[in-house]
Amino acid sequence: MEYTVQKLGKLAGVSTRTLRYYDEIGILKPARINSSGYRIYGQKEVDLLQQILFYRELGVSLDQIKKIVTSPSFDLTHALKEHRDKLLAKREQLDKLIANVDKTLATREGRMTMTDQEKFEGFKQKLIDENEKMYGEEIRSKYGNEVVDQSNQKLKNMTKEQYAEVEKLSEDILSTLKKAFATGDPAGELAQKAADLHRRWLLFYWDGYTKEAHASVAQMYVDDERFTAYYDKVGTGAAEFLRDAIHIYTGIKK
Amino acid sequence: MEYTVQKLGKLAGVSTRTLRYYDEIGILKPARINSSGYRIYGQKEVDLLQQILFYRELGVSLDQIKKIVTSPSFDLTHALKEHRDKLLAKREQLDKLIANVDKTLATREGRMTMTDQEKFEGFKQKLIDENEKMYGEEIRSKYGNEVVDQSNQKLKNMTKEQYAEVEKLSEDILSTLKKAFATGDPAGELAQKAADLHRRWLLFYWDGYTKEAHASVAQMYVDDERFTAYYDKVGTGAAEFLRDAIHIYTGIKK
DNA sequence: TTACACCTTTACGTAACGTCAATGTAAATA
DNA sequence: TATTTACATTGACGTTACGTAAAGGTGTAA
């Protein structure tokens, strides 16, 4: 049986380029070249190619393979042992890399959750505390703990993408609030949009959204100086403005 | 503190070529270029290089590193996780390679010992049988079993190098025997050299070399047609010639 | 004859530098 | 000050095992 490059390539599962390359580096020469300059391979070459591909499978370099297949006295066992040593060293190196990447990831994730917590923990606690203060023991025993638990769960399960969305919402709230604040009308379209964004933002933390809780948080923004300061970045009195807008949005007035 | 390429290179443990390459691919540009065209690096670049080398340590490609260090919003955690996946896949691949090389080695070594045994087992058995026949029960119970055991051990423990030496000795015996046979003098220098080579050859199989056993083996070469045929390749009557030479060499005549 | 599949050689691209080569500059020494 | 020595520059080729055109010749079927 005789083969052209493509036929042999298909037979062995290699590209024609590979066969030409093997010819070029002298590792597998065709049995003959026909009158048109085509490479013609015979059975012997098929067998040799199989040999070559076998060693290639083992990760042996073509240079080494060449030595193996061209020199009959080549000490294959020794070569393979050396090759195995190299592979083992490589794996050790890989293991180190993997361990390092893992460690780095762990550190980063540790930092990430810390950052998350730094960002939210205080706020969350504040929310809970204020909530409690506002609604008192009665309401807390009713659904306060539940809300707290869910909030904690949500925070812990939040993905980076979700976090990014939350941040975007935060920014949107501020920018919308700024425009709304400029109109001076808490019942206006912009102010109501800000209130709606704020509701969506809250949904990232609360499962059991209620108008009452929303209104209560809005009041808190006015009562707690830290939140007041945060929203007053938009303009002096913005916290009150947002509270008014939310109270209108929720239909609840305290 | 300002650094030229070499100073920074020494500081960070990389070559100047590496620094130029990093400049070339835009991963680490010097802080400025002085009037002579020298690259001048500052503290910021030192820090960045450390970053770069850290990721390089992790096996991250420079292309990826570039993305990491040039885009602050790059999702490093995600990138590292993907990178780790790649490393894990690589290790799996490596493990397969290693297992295959091991298997190949085992097969080869199995074949090797089989080949050894094919080559020696029959001969060894013959030796033992003949020895037994010649010396009878008495001598066999005296040291025959011991010799057999040691011979077996030696054969099994023979390294490839030792085997190669044995083969070389075999060839030397034949070529020397040929030349000696041409002289027709079993007491001559060449014949005695052949006898000595034969002794050394026997030592590879026997620990407890004795002149008697050696002389006995020599006689066996004449008695057993297979060995006679082997040595008569050198010339008709070569087995007898070798026997005579060995008998002279050992000083034992049967 | 035309189309189409298949062949050829030539040559650039890959990743991350190593290694000259040719040449200019800064610092140290005679 | 002149020279040596050390260090800088850019340019370019080499490395591995092919992938991927490009430009053009060949074989065969419709």
Q: Are A220 and A127 in contact (CB under 8 A)?
A: yes
Report how far residue A94's alpha carbon sits from residue A82's, in angstroms, rounded to the nearest whole number.
18
Q: Is B147 helix (H, G, I), strand (E, B) or coil?
A: helix
Q: Does B75 touch chain A (CB under 8 A)?
A: yes
User: CB distance from B105 to chain A under 8 Å?
Assistant: yes
The residue among A175 and A73 whose pLDDT is bigger is A175
Residue B109 forms contact with A (CB below 8 Å): yes
Give the chain B residue whose CA is nearest to the CA of A88.
Answer: B98
A76 CB near a chain B CB, below 8 Å?
yes
Q: Where in chain A is the domain with CATH 1.10.1660.10?
A: 5-71
Chain A interface includes B59 (CB < 8 A)? yes
- Output the pLDDT for position B5: 96
Q: Determine the average pLDDT of the residues in B155-171.
A: 64
Q: Buried b vs exposed e over B64-80: b needs ≥16 C-beta within 10 Å?
A: bbbbbbeeeeeebeebb
pLDDT of residue B126: 43
Q: Is the Cα dihedral A194, A196, A200, A205 positive or negative?
A: positive
Residue A151 has pLDDT above 70, yes or no: no
Interface probe for A, chosen from B53, B78, B94 (most Cβ of A below 10 Å), is B94
Question: Does residue A3 sit in helix, strand or coil?
Answer: strand
Q: With a 7 Å cutoff on the CB, does B34 touch strand D?
A: no
Residue A243 near residue A222, CB atoms below 8 Å: yes
Structure confidence at residue A49 as a pLDDT band (50, 70, 90): very high
Smallest CA–C1' separation from B52: which nucleotide? C16
Which residue in the set A77, A95, A105 is minimally distant from B81, CB to CB? A105
pLDDT at A85: 83
DSSP-H helix ranges across chain B: 5-12, 16-24, 43-57, 62-70, 76-139, 145-157, 160-183, 189-203, 211-223, 225-231, 238-250
Distance A82 CA to C13 C1' (A): 32
Q: Residue A58: is its pLDDT beyond 90?
A: no
Which position has the higher pLDDT, B71 or A194? A194
Task: Give A79-148 as a DSSP string.
Answer: HHHHHHHHHHHHHHHHHHHHHHHHHHHHHHHHHHHHHHHHHHHHHHHHHHHHHHHHHHHHHIIIIIHHHH
Each residue's pLDDT tens digit, B26-67? 999 999 999 999 999 999 999 899 889 988 887 889 988 888
Class of the CATH-defined domain B119-250:
mainly alpha
- Using DSSP's 3-state secondary structure scheme, residue A32 falls into strand
CATH code 1.10.490.50 region(s) in chain A: 121-250
| A8 band by pLDDT with thresholds 50, 70 and 90 | very high
Residue A251, pLDDT above cutoff 50: yes
For residue B117, what pLDDT is reported? Answer: 47
pLDDT at B86: 80
User: Mind telling me how many Å the CA of A145 is from chain B's nearest CA?
Assistant: 33
| CATH entry, A121-250, from 3.40.190.10, 1.20.120.1810, 3.30.70.980, 1.10.490.50 | 1.10.490.50
Q: In Å, how far from its chain's centre is CA A10?
A: 40
Determine the 3-state secondary structure of A71 from DSSP.
Answer: coil
Q: B40: which strand partners?
A: B32
Tokens 């003098």 correspond to B185
User: Cβ(A178)–Cβ(A235) under 8 Å?
Assistant: yes
Mean pLDDT of chain B: 77
Per-residue pLDDT for A39 more than 90? Answer: yes
Residue A112: its pLDDT value, please? 63
**From A78, which residue of chain B is nearest by alpha-carbon distance?**
B105
- Of A22-26, A71-75, B170-174, B235-239, the range with the lowest mean pLDDT is A71-75
Contact of B112 with chain A, judged by CB distance below 8 Å, is answered with yes
A12 CA vs D30 C1’ separation (Å): 32
Q: Considering CB atoms only, which of B83, B94, B109 is closest to A101?
A: B83
Using CB atoms, pick whichever of A80, A91, A108 lies closest to residue B104: A80
B180 pLDDT more than 90: no
Q: Mean pLDDT check: name the lowest of A39-43, A77-81, A144-148, A188-192.
A: A144-148
Q: How far is CA A159 from the centre of its chain?
A: 9
Residues of chain B with CATH 1.10.490.50: 119-250
Tell me which of B14 and B85 has the higher pLDDT.
B14
At residue B235, what is the residue type?
A: G
A136: pLDDT strictly greater than 80:
no
Q: What is the model's pLDDT at position A29? A: 94
- Res. A124: pLDDT tops 60: no
Q: Residue B16, CB, less than 7 Å from strand D?
A: yes
pLDDT, position B42 = 93
Please check the confidence at residue A240 and state whether its pLDDT lies above 80. Answer: yes
Q: Summarize pLDDT for A164-213 with one digit per residue, the tens.
A: 677 777 888 888 988 888 998 988 888 888 888 888 887 776 766 788 87
pLDDT tens sequence across A90-102? 888 888 888 888 8
In contact, A52 and A14? CB cutoff 8 Å: no
CATH 1.10.10.10 for domain A5-71: no
Best A98, A116, A159 member to test B by mutation, with max B CBs in 10 Å, is A98
* A254, pLDDT greater than 90: no
Query: Which residue in the set A77, A80, A100 is minimally distant from B58, CB to CB?
Result: A100
Check residue A134 and give its pLDDT: 46
